[in-house]
Amino acid sequence: MRLVFYSDSVYVKKSNSIYYKLDDLVQGSNLENLELSSATIYDHWANIQPLLSNINLNNYKSEEIRSDVKFDPVSIFPKQVFAIGTNYIDHAKEMRLPIPKSPVVFTKFQSCITGANASISLPSKTVDYENELTVVIGKSCRNVAVSDALEYVAGVTVGQDLSERTLQFANGNHFSLGKSFPGFAPIGPELVTLDEIDSVNNLKIKTRLNGKILQDSSTSQMIFNVNELISYLSSILQLFPGDLIFTGTPVGVGYSRSPAIYLKPNDVLVSEIENVTSQTIYFK
């Protein structure tokens, strides 16, 4: 199942231009009186997922949505937004950092979330890209075993952990602030449920800046995979429906290059993850 969020509504995607509005699909069910949006859908995910997995879309009226519209984020008001640093082996090497023995966790603030095809204002000349597989939690959980972790996932999407490097590394490091300017967490456009993917821990991940490939790796290179990250976080605190986990970025970020490559006005950034989705972001 593939969902997109557009104009305050949720749609199920059938093809590149054919979508079905979720409000229509739930008619006749115990969800029909709810206004389902990216702000509320995960509160009802336990009931929505089985309903949609058995539905015949051909019985409903479809709509067209252009691929270049400004999509809403796939989770607009998460209670918590986690990000994992230094979680790819080659990225740790390019940043000259030791391989961590446990996940390196920081947070991004909710106010930095935006959707695909967004136009983002650059606050400085040292903003970097970081393409990341991003997990959306579907059910509350605590102390989850590694083997059970994926049962609590609503789906995955593409996320960019945009980073203002000057602030990030200033005065003893300000990771959360340097990564939380407006628009610094674009996610989407599609939320993809795990039945659509063979393995979230073995997906090609690629980033293009103005058509040039700058990141080209696989989630198989993660030091801590998706299951392990969910288990680790849930061993410390409660995870809630709609929470986001940015799982780390692979080798190829702009900061580590010589000379460094930073984002500029009029740049176009395309972030792709195999069998998940492709996200385009514009800068000004």
**Domain residue ranges of the chain, discontinuous segments joined by +:** 2-64, 81-283
Two tokens, residue 23 = 């409000």
Span 92-114, pLDDT tens digits: 898 888 999 999 999 999 999 99
**Model-level pTM?**
0.96
Please name which of 5, 16, 118, 19 lies closest in space to residue 72, comparing C-alpha atoms. Answer: 5
Span 128-148, pLDDT tens digits: 999 999 999 999 999 999 999
CA distances from 103 to 83, 112, 281 (A): 10, 23, 28
Span 40-84, pLDDT tens digits: 999 999 999 899 888 899 899 999 999 999 999 999 999 999 999
Question: What are the residues whose beta carbons fall under 8 Å from the beta carbon of 123, sequence distance 6 or more?
Answer: 164, 181
Q: Where are the beta strands (DSSP E) in the chain?
A: 2-6, 9-13, 18-21, 63-64, 81-85, 104-107, 113-114, 119-120, 127-128, 131-137, 153-160, 163-164, 185-186, 190-192, 204-209, 212-218, 244-246, 268-273, 277-283
Span 147-196, pLDDT tens digits: 999 999 999 999 999 999 999 999 778 889 999 999 999 999 999 999 99
What 8-state DSSP symbol labels residue 71? P
Most confident of 7-16, 168-177, 259-268: 259-268
| CB of 123 closer than 8 Å to CB of 283 | no
Query: Using CA of residue 183, residue 189, residue 195, residue 196, what is the dihedral sign?
Result: negative
Second-level CATH architecture of 81-283: Alpha-Beta Complex (3.90)
Distance, CA of 140 to CA of 211 (rounded, Å) = 40
Distance, CA of 12 to CA of 16 (rounded, Å) = 11
Q: What is the largest CA-CA distance in the chain?
A: 59
Two tokens, residue 25 = 């699909």
Give the DSSP H/E element, type plus range, for residue 25: helix 22-25
Dihedral, CA of residue 81, residue 199, residue 153 and residue 250, to nearest 10: 0
